[in-house]
Structure 1
């Protein structure tokens, strides 16, 4: 694996980007705090299991989408917390003081790995503790664009690792619970059309021609029929009378060599011919979109053929994908959310290795 070129990355002190404060906690001993049937994760002074020491019925004290660490263990206790949780004594949290809206899950994951790697080089341990003050003054390097953190780079980097690992290893007929070495029970799955209630509005895209686009002051991604870099093939100027699609929508290539390529877009974008836009009809999480995008890709590659039987005439009629369902027969969003989180946890060490720098 080739090393990442960080020669043009910018150095920041943690305190330039984040405030660090103790998590709020219930001030109870563990036997009164943790319940084997609890539902809210309790983040403790641990370097394992994302810091989760158990679960509680007590209300969460902290909001998710933040980074935590213990000031009484080692740098290995630095974790990203995706959901609301119960805090604990000596567990610290990082709160952005700049660029609040830009710290998405993927950007925080990218930062978390850099943060942990740099902290690990300082040889903190149970005697030489990793305190809040030390963390605030720690220097880390991040990719930059126009002299600010390059959010798109970080977003795409983690997204591509995430999707590559999952899409290479998992498909509906091959899902394996590796901890139990058996196939997942697919009896509670069924097919859905992308336009079904609760899924997507299908927009046929802007259908622009890349060669006719200008690049004098580019601010918009251009999505083509590609299978890399989220389908982004160019960075182009805004067209006055054509509003770009919003970040968070999915794009899908209907034909060509990369038929079925389906990506979550991290920034505003235009699309080329034969690339459509899937607009979630509700505030769908990144993990749910990821799960669905993989199902779309695999269904497309298995049952449709480039230049022979492409998706154009199927996408609004009979194209469908398998999804897990709940007791009411509706898509089981919680299952999808947890499934992707579990896969990411299993690949955490691979991500850490890829981002290792000397």
Structure 2
């Protein structure tokens, strides 16, 4: 590849700046109004700091030419934030344009400009417009002219490679998760097939039980106010009445004396939302701890209990009342039985069968993508 040195002003036309005071922009009164991005001294979100309704008298780049934004002030001093590519340029401070500029080759050109800014200037040594215009950038050439075609193909190749790498990483993470969770194999065992067939054909024996006969319904050891706790990425789970993320709002670090037992079901009194909690946890307001009286209770059959309990409470209207210990304990649920007792083994087999059926499409998708990604990355 041949390279050539070019002044920035020979590659891009520097357009006159229109001063725009963001405080004087008309606020939106209707979502249907025409709005434009306002570009300011930002290093994220492609330089956009807000969206406003602007009149055409203050639009930079009114015709929407391909543009690179460079921040500057009234004294023509260039700020050293990252240049950005604009599709329209409305509200921008200083814009550099070229008819040959597009969303692909602009990445190459912006990279060349950034190298100049970071090499020659600093926070205490800012460039003027004239200095930056006369700065030299290094670009690929063909027959003595700037090779825009090469820049586009180079950026496109980098993007394709990056996408392949990201996809490979995500597929690897998915594969690791499936293996760790025991869901990699989606083939049903004979026992799982039989349980599903018996369920479909009504051959399972069922019986109604009061929840209170199978579980102890306990109050939390201490209520931790959601407005006062400090949520962090480490600590013990903090369970509240949300229906998301297994009821866990985050993690908190509090006195572990007030941890509720793991291997239990958390029950939101106002929402009737239930989740299996494997680890000890803290709670917010109106959470009951549903603790099994049987040592056979575990993470697998807990999913069956939660499903049948959720069905039993399905007539409950959210927010109409709050379930107390007595009401929860007297609620009846249906369970498969053996010798007139809950059949924990059947429940576990049923859940593993359902998990495999649910995960089958994901596993097949992962297998296809893994094979495709390997072929792409190896080329």
TM-score range, shorter chain: 0.3 to 0.5
Q: Which has the larger radius of gyration?
A: 2
TM-score normalized by structure 2?
0.43
- Flag the structure with higher helix content: 2
